[in-house]
Amino acid sequence: MYKVLRELKVDLGERSYPIIIGQGLLGAFDLTPWVAGQQVMIVTNDTVGPLYLDKVKSCFPGKAIDVVTLPDGEKYKNWQTLNQIFDGLLEQRHTRKTTVVALGGGVVGDMAGFAAACYQRGVPFIQVPTTLLSQVDSSVGGKTGINHPLGKNMVGAFHQPQAVLIDTDTLQTLPAREVSAGLAEVIKYGLIRDEAFLSWLEEAIDSLVRLDAEALGEAIFRSCTCKAEVVALDEREGGLRAILNLGHTFGHAIETFAGYGNWLHGEAVGTGMMMAADLSVREGFISEEDRERANALIRRAGLPDRAPPEMTEADFMNLMSVDKKNVDGRLRLVLLKSVGDAFTTDEASADNLHDTLTGFLPSAG
Protein backbone atom coordinates (compact mmCIF):
# COMPACT_ATOMS: atom_id res chain seq x y z
CA MET A 1 0.00 0.00 0.00
CA TYR A 2 1.46 3.32 -0.99
CA LYS A 3 1.30 6.53 1.02
CA VAL A 4 1.24 10.03 -0.46
CA LEU A 5 3.03 12.27 2.03
CA ARG A 6 2.82 15.62 0.27
CA GLU A 7 1.67 17.04 -3.05
CA LEU A 8 2.30 20.44 -4.59
CA LYS A 9 1.89 22.14 -7.93
CA VAL A 10 4.31 23.96 -10.21
CA ASP A 11 2.06 26.80 -11.33
CA LEU A 12 2.69 27.52 -14.99
CA GLY A 13 -0.84 28.10 -16.24
CA GLU A 14 -1.82 25.53 -18.85
CA ARG A 15 1.53 23.78 -18.36
CA SER A 16 1.16 23.40 -14.59
CA TYR A 17 1.98 19.99 -13.16
CA PRO A 18 1.95 18.13 -9.84
CA ILE A 19 4.84 16.93 -7.73
CA ILE A 20 3.69 13.87 -5.79
CA ILE A 21 5.88 12.83 -2.82
CA GLY A 22 5.31 9.60 -0.96
CA GLN A 23 6.39 6.12 0.07
CA GLY A 24 5.75 2.92 -1.86
CA LEU A 25 4.59 4.83 -4.95
CA LEU A 26 6.57 2.84 -7.51
CA GLY A 27 4.52 -0.14 -8.59
CA ALA A 28 1.31 1.16 -7.04
CA PHE A 29 0.60 4.75 -8.12
CA ASP A 30 -1.34 5.10 -11.39
CA LEU A 31 0.42 7.52 -13.75
CA THR A 32 -1.88 6.97 -16.74
CA PRO A 33 -3.82 10.23 -16.16
CA TRP A 34 -0.68 12.05 -17.36
CA VAL A 35 -0.19 9.88 -20.46
CA ALA A 36 -1.59 11.29 -23.71
CA GLY A 37 -1.70 8.14 -25.85
CA GLN A 38 -1.06 4.41 -25.69
CA GLN A 39 2.73 4.44 -26.03
CA VAL A 40 5.19 4.87 -23.15
CA MET A 41 8.98 4.88 -23.49
CA ILE A 42 10.76 4.43 -20.16
CA VAL A 43 14.35 5.71 -20.17
CA THR A 44 16.49 4.39 -17.34
CA ASN A 45 20.08 3.23 -16.74
CA ASP A 46 21.77 -0.06 -15.99
CA THR A 47 21.95 0.68 -12.24
CA VAL A 48 18.40 1.90 -11.59
CA GLY A 49 16.62 -0.33 -14.11
CA PRO A 50 17.23 -3.64 -12.31
CA LEU A 51 15.92 -2.08 -9.07
CA TYR A 52 12.79 -0.29 -10.18
CA LEU A 53 11.91 -0.85 -13.84
CA ASP A 54 9.33 -3.58 -13.27
CA LYS A 55 7.63 -1.52 -10.57
CA VAL A 56 7.43 1.56 -12.77
CA LYS A 57 5.94 -0.46 -15.61
CA SER A 58 3.10 -1.27 -13.22
CA CYS A 59 2.35 2.46 -12.94
CA PHE A 60 1.10 2.41 -16.55
CA PRO A 61 -1.61 -0.26 -16.70
CA GLY A 62 -2.97 -0.88 -20.18
CA LYS A 63 -0.20 1.04 -21.96
CA ALA A 64 2.29 -0.27 -24.54
CA ILE A 65 5.67 0.08 -22.84
CA ASP A 66 9.15 0.11 -24.38
CA VAL A 67 12.44 0.65 -22.58
CA VAL A 68 15.78 2.27 -23.37
CA THR A 69 18.53 1.45 -20.87
CA LEU A 70 21.50 3.81 -20.83
CA PRO A 71 24.92 3.37 -19.24
CA ASP A 72 25.12 4.92 -15.78
CA GLY A 73 27.25 7.99 -15.20
CA GLU A 74 27.69 11.71 -15.86
CA LYS A 75 30.37 10.93 -18.45
CA TYR A 76 27.65 9.45 -20.69
CA LYS A 77 25.55 12.64 -20.70
CA ASN A 78 26.43 13.37 -24.33
CA TRP A 79 25.19 13.25 -27.93
CA GLN A 80 26.13 9.60 -28.41
CA THR A 81 24.05 8.41 -25.46
CA LEU A 82 21.20 10.78 -26.31
CA ASN A 83 20.99 9.11 -29.72
CA GLN A 84 20.28 5.79 -28.03
CA ILE A 85 16.98 7.28 -26.85
CA PHE A 86 16.12 8.52 -30.34
CA ASP A 87 17.08 5.12 -31.77
CA GLY A 88 14.69 3.40 -29.38
CA LEU A 89 11.83 5.78 -30.11
CA LEU A 90 12.26 5.41 -33.87
CA GLU A 91 12.88 1.67 -33.91
CA GLN A 92 9.71 1.09 -31.87
CA ARG A 93 7.80 3.58 -34.04
CA HIS A 94 6.74 5.92 -31.31
CA THR A 95 4.51 8.75 -32.49
CA ARG A 96 4.10 12.27 -31.19
CA LYS A 97 1.43 10.89 -28.84
CA THR A 98 4.07 8.91 -26.93
CA THR A 99 5.07 9.77 -23.37
CA VAL A 100 8.72 9.54 -22.33
CA VAL A 101 9.32 8.53 -18.71
CA ALA A 102 12.63 9.38 -17.00
CA LEU A 103 13.45 6.74 -14.36
CA GLY A 104 16.72 7.54 -12.62
CA GLY A 105 18.84 10.39 -11.35
CA GLY A 106 19.63 13.77 -12.82
CA VAL A 107 21.56 12.45 -15.82
CA VAL A 108 18.68 10.24 -16.96
CA GLY A 109 16.16 12.99 -16.27
CA ASP A 110 18.10 15.62 -18.21
CA MET A 111 18.68 13.36 -21.21
CA ALA A 112 15.20 11.84 -21.33
CA GLY A 113 13.69 15.31 -21.01
CA PHE A 114 15.91 16.68 -23.78
CA ALA A 115 15.01 13.76 -26.02
CA ALA A 116 11.32 14.42 -25.32
CA ALA A 117 11.80 18.11 -26.14
CA CYS A 118 13.35 17.21 -29.51
CA TYR A 119 11.54 14.07 -30.67
CA GLN A 120 9.03 15.03 -33.35
CA ARG A 121 9.51 18.60 -32.11
CA GLY A 122 8.32 17.78 -28.62
CA VAL A 123 6.45 14.99 -26.84
CA PRO A 124 5.24 14.77 -23.21
CA PHE A 125 7.38 13.30 -20.47
CA ILE A 126 7.13 12.30 -16.82
CA GLN A 127 9.89 12.48 -14.22
CA VAL A 128 10.40 9.58 -11.79
CA PRO A 129 13.58 10.68 -9.97
CA THR A 130 15.37 8.11 -7.81
CA THR A 131 18.21 10.12 -6.22
CA LEU A 132 17.94 12.85 -3.62
CA LEU A 133 19.58 15.39 -5.91
CA SER A 134 17.17 14.71 -8.76
CA GLN A 135 14.16 14.67 -6.43
CA VAL A 136 14.87 18.11 -4.97
CA ASP A 137 16.36 19.80 -8.01
CA SER A 138 16.78 18.51 -11.56
CA SER A 139 13.38 16.81 -11.93
CA VAL A 140 11.54 20.08 -11.23
CA GLY A 141 11.56 23.10 -13.50
CA GLY A 142 11.95 21.77 -17.02
CA LYS A 143 15.67 22.23 -17.58
CA THR A 144 16.92 19.45 -19.84
CA GLY A 145 20.17 18.92 -21.69
CA ILE A 146 23.52 17.27 -22.17
CA ASN A 147 27.14 18.17 -21.48
CA HIS A 148 29.73 19.37 -23.95
CA PRO A 149 33.46 18.74 -23.43
CA LEU A 150 33.91 22.51 -22.98
CA GLY A 151 31.06 23.06 -20.55
CA LYS A 152 28.37 21.38 -18.48
CA ASN A 153 24.72 21.51 -19.65
CA MET A 154 25.59 23.82 -22.53
CA VAL A 155 23.23 22.09 -24.99
CA GLY A 156 19.61 21.70 -23.99
CA ALA A 157 16.04 22.99 -23.88
CA PHE A 158 13.33 24.06 -21.46
CA HIS A 159 10.68 21.33 -21.50
CA GLN A 160 8.33 20.93 -18.54
CA PRO A 161 7.19 17.46 -17.44
CA GLN A 162 3.56 16.37 -17.12
CA ALA A 163 4.15 15.19 -13.56
CA VAL A 164 6.93 14.38 -11.08
CA LEU A 165 6.56 11.24 -8.96
CA ILE A 166 8.94 11.08 -5.98
CA ASP A 167 9.11 7.83 -4.02
CA THR A 168 11.33 8.41 -0.98
CA ASP A 169 11.81 4.64 -0.61
CA THR A 170 14.28 4.77 -3.51
CA LEU A 171 16.68 6.73 -1.32
CA GLN A 172 17.28 3.72 0.91
CA THR A 173 19.44 2.16 -1.84
CA LEU A 174 21.56 5.29 -2.36
CA PRO A 175 25.28 5.21 -1.49
CA ALA A 176 26.28 7.68 1.23
CA ARG A 177 28.19 9.79 -1.29
CA GLU A 178 25.04 10.26 -3.39
CA VAL A 179 23.08 11.24 -0.28
CA SER A 180 25.64 13.92 0.52
CA ALA A 181 25.54 15.19 -3.06
CA GLY A 182 21.77 15.57 -2.84
CA LEU A 183 21.97 17.38 0.47
CA ALA A 184 24.06 20.09 -1.20
CA GLU A 185 21.04 21.13 -3.26
CA VAL A 186 18.76 20.91 -0.21
CA ILE A 187 21.07 23.25 1.74
CA LYS A 188 21.11 25.59 -1.25
CA TYR A 189 17.40 26.36 -0.86
CA GLY A 190 17.88 27.46 2.72
CA LEU A 191 20.79 29.70 1.77
CA ILE A 192 19.11 31.41 -1.18
CA ARG A 193 15.52 31.90 -0.07
CA ASP A 194 14.48 30.37 3.27
CA GLU A 195 16.50 31.05 6.41
CA ALA A 196 13.91 29.21 8.52
CA PHE A 197 14.47 26.10 6.41
CA LEU A 198 18.22 26.49 6.93
CA SER A 199 17.65 26.54 10.68
CA TRP A 200 15.52 23.40 10.40
CA LEU A 201 18.31 21.72 8.40
CA GLU A 202 20.84 22.52 11.10
CA GLU A 203 18.65 20.54 13.50
CA ALA A 204 17.80 17.74 11.05
CA ILE A 205 21.01 17.21 9.08
CA ASP A 206 22.12 14.13 11.02
CA SER A 207 18.69 12.52 10.53
CA LEU A 208 18.88 13.28 6.81
CA VAL A 209 22.32 11.70 6.52
CA ARG A 210 20.86 8.60 8.21
CA LEU A 211 18.01 8.60 5.65
CA ASP A 212 15.25 9.07 8.19
CA ALA A 213 12.07 8.82 6.11
CA GLU A 214 10.11 11.56 7.91
CA ALA A 215 12.98 14.05 7.74
CA LEU A 216 13.59 13.23 4.07
CA GLY A 217 9.94 13.76 3.18
CA GLU A 218 9.96 17.17 4.83
CA ALA A 219 13.26 18.22 3.24
CA ILE A 220 12.13 17.16 -0.22
CA PHE A 221 8.77 18.93 0.13
CA ARG A 222 10.31 22.20 1.32
CA SER A 223 13.01 22.07 -1.36
CA CYS A 224 10.50 21.39 -4.13
CA THR A 225 8.20 24.11 -2.79
CA CYS A 226 11.02 26.63 -3.00
CA LYS A 227 11.99 25.61 -6.51
CA ALA A 228 8.38 25.51 -7.71
CA GLU A 229 7.83 29.08 -6.45
CA VAL A 230 10.94 30.35 -8.24
CA VAL A 231 10.17 28.51 -11.49
CA ALA A 232 6.59 29.82 -11.49
CA LEU A 233 7.93 33.37 -11.23
CA ASP A 234 10.73 32.96 -13.81
CA GLU A 235 10.40 29.80 -15.90
CA ARG A 236 13.19 30.51 -18.38
CA GLU A 237 15.74 32.09 -16.07
CA GLY A 238 15.33 35.67 -17.18
CA GLY A 239 16.14 36.94 -13.70
CA LEU A 240 15.09 35.46 -10.36
CA ARG A 241 15.57 31.80 -11.33
CA ALA A 242 19.31 32.36 -11.64
CA ILE A 243 19.55 32.35 -7.82
CA LEU A 244 19.00 28.57 -8.01
CA ASN A 245 22.55 28.44 -9.34
CA LEU A 246 24.23 29.41 -6.06
CA GLY A 247 27.64 27.72 -6.14
CA HIS A 248 27.04 26.30 -9.60
CA THR A 249 29.41 28.52 -11.59
CA PHE A 250 32.30 27.45 -9.38
CA GLY A 251 30.90 23.91 -9.18
CA HIS A 252 30.50 23.41 -12.92
CA ALA A 253 34.12 24.48 -13.37
CA ILE A 254 35.16 21.82 -10.86
CA GLU A 255 33.07 19.13 -12.57
CA THR A 256 34.44 19.95 -16.00
CA PHE A 257 38.05 20.08 -14.79
CA ALA A 258 37.79 16.81 -12.88
CA GLY A 259 36.09 15.00 -15.77
CA TYR A 260 32.34 14.49 -15.68
CA GLY A 261 31.41 11.96 -13.03
CA ASN A 262 34.65 12.00 -11.05
CA TRP A 263 33.13 14.65 -8.84
CA LEU A 264 29.39 14.30 -8.33
CA HIS A 265 27.38 17.39 -9.22
CA GLY A 266 26.32 17.95 -5.61
CA GLU A 267 29.88 17.58 -4.35
CA ALA A 268 31.04 20.29 -6.73
CA VAL A 269 28.08 22.51 -5.82
CA GLY A 270 28.83 22.07 -2.11
CA THR A 271 32.36 23.38 -2.58
CA GLY A 272 31.01 26.05 -4.95
CA MET A 273 28.56 27.29 -2.32
CA MET A 274 31.41 27.64 0.17
CA MET A 275 33.25 29.70 -2.43
CA ALA A 276 30.17 31.85 -3.08
CA ALA A 277 29.77 32.45 0.67
CA ASP A 278 33.44 33.39 0.94
CA LEU A 279 33.17 35.86 -1.92
CA SER A 280 29.99 37.27 -0.36
CA VAL A 281 32.01 38.06 2.77
CA ARG A 282 34.81 39.67 0.76
CA GLU A 283 32.24 41.77 -1.14
CA GLY A 284 30.83 43.03 2.16
CA PHE A 285 27.43 41.34 2.08
CA ILE A 286 27.46 38.66 4.79
CA SER A 287 29.46 38.29 7.97
CA GLU A 288 32.23 35.79 8.63
CA GLU A 289 29.86 34.17 11.12
CA ASP A 290 27.28 33.67 8.35
CA ARG A 291 29.93 32.13 6.13
CA GLU A 292 30.99 29.73 8.86
CA ARG A 293 27.36 28.83 9.51
CA ALA A 294 26.94 27.83 5.86
CA ASN A 295 30.28 26.02 5.73
CA ALA A 296 29.61 24.06 8.92
CA LEU A 297 26.31 22.72 7.55
CA ILE A 298 27.87 21.82 4.20
CA ARG A 299 30.67 19.92 5.95
CA ARG A 300 28.17 18.12 8.20
CA ALA A 301 26.48 16.86 5.06
CA GLY A 302 29.76 15.14 4.15
CA LEU A 303 30.74 17.41 1.27
CA PRO A 304 34.29 18.40 0.20
CA ASP A 305 35.65 21.86 0.98
CA ARG A 306 38.53 22.18 -1.51
CA ALA A 307 38.92 22.14 -5.28
CA PRO A 308 40.30 18.99 -6.94
CA PRO A 309 44.04 18.24 -6.84
CA GLU A 310 46.07 20.17 -9.42
CA MET A 311 43.26 22.64 -10.23
CA THR A 312 44.56 26.20 -10.62
CA GLU A 313 43.07 29.68 -10.57
CA ALA A 314 43.54 29.82 -14.35
CA ASP A 315 41.55 26.60 -14.71
CA PHE A 316 38.69 28.15 -12.77
CA MET A 317 38.70 31.35 -14.80
CA ASN A 318 38.89 29.57 -18.15
CA LEU A 319 36.06 27.19 -17.33
CA MET A 320 33.83 29.80 -15.68
CA SER A 321 34.15 32.00 -18.77
CA VAL A 322 31.82 29.65 -20.69
CA ASP A 323 29.11 29.57 -17.99
CA LYS A 324 25.56 30.00 -19.33
CA LYS A 325 24.80 32.88 -16.94
CA ASN A 326 27.50 35.10 -18.37
CA VAL A 327 26.31 38.09 -20.40
CA ASP A 328 28.38 40.04 -22.92
CA GLY A 329 31.60 38.48 -21.69
CA ARG A 330 31.00 39.44 -18.04
CA LEU A 331 31.16 36.77 -15.36
CA ARG A 332 27.82 36.59 -13.50
CA LEU A 333 27.83 35.00 -10.08
CA VAL A 334 25.18 34.21 -7.50
CA LEU A 335 26.10 35.64 -4.10
CA LEU A 336 24.36 36.07 -0.74
CA LYS A 337 23.07 39.44 0.46
CA SER A 338 22.26 37.63 3.68
CA VAL A 339 21.52 34.09 4.75
CA GLY A 340 18.26 33.29 2.96
CA ASP A 341 18.60 36.04 0.34
CA ALA A 342 20.61 35.48 -2.86
CA PHE A 343 21.16 37.70 -5.89
CA THR A 344 23.13 37.73 -9.13
CA THR A 345 25.93 40.16 -9.92
CA ASP A 346 28.53 40.77 -12.58
CA GLU A 347 30.34 43.36 -10.47
CA ALA A 348 32.38 41.24 -8.09
CA SER A 349 35.86 42.65 -7.56
CA ALA A 350 38.57 40.86 -9.52
CA ASP A 351 40.82 41.03 -6.48
CA ASN A 352 38.18 39.50 -4.23
CA LEU A 353 37.48 36.76 -6.77
CA HIS A 354 41.21 36.03 -6.95
CA ASP A 355 41.40 35.76 -3.16
CA THR A 356 38.40 33.41 -3.02
CA LEU A 357 39.70 31.17 -5.78
CA THR A 358 43.19 30.88 -4.34
CA GLY A 359 41.72 30.22 -0.90
CA PHE A 360 40.00 27.06 -2.14
CA LEU A 361 42.81 25.62 -4.24
CA PRO A 362 44.27 22.34 -2.97
CA SER A 363 47.52 24.10 -2.14
CA ALA A 364 45.65 26.43 0.24
CA GLY A 365 44.43 23.63 2.46
Distance of alpha carbon 9 from alpha carbon 4, whole angstroms: 14
Nearest to 252 by CA among 320, 354, 353: 320
3-class SS of residue 160: coil
Catalytic residue (choose from 245, 267, 283, 325): 245
Write down the catalytic residue from 241, 282, 293, 332: 241
Q: Which of 227, 282, 325, 332 is catalytic?
A: 227
Any catalytic annotation for residue 265? Answer: yes
Give catalytic status of residue 282 as yes or no: no
Count Cβ atoms below 10 Å from residue 230 Cβ, excluding itself.
21
Task: Give the alpha-carbon dihedral of 295, 297, 300, 303, to 10 degrees.
Answer: -60
159 is catalytic: no
Residues 6+ apart with CB under 8 A from 248: 269, 272, 334
Q: Is 143 a catalytic residue?
A: yes
Active-site residue, selected from the candidate residues 143, 152, 291, 324:
143
CB atoms within 10 A of CB 2: 14
Active-site annotation holds for 3 = no
Pairwise CA distance, residues 52 & 216, whole Å: 20
Catalytic residue (one of 14, 93, 121, 203)? 121
Active site residue 77: no
193 is catalytic: no
Query: For this structure, is 300 an active site residue?
Result: no
- Number of C-beta neighbours around residue 26 at 10 A: 24
Q: Is 293 marked active-site?
A: no
Catalytic residue among 74, 178, 218, 237: 237
3-state helix, strand, coil in the chain (%, to 5): 50, 20, 30
Check if 237 is active-site.
Answer: yes
Catalytically annotated residues? 121, 143, 185, 227, 237, 241, 245, 248, 252, 265
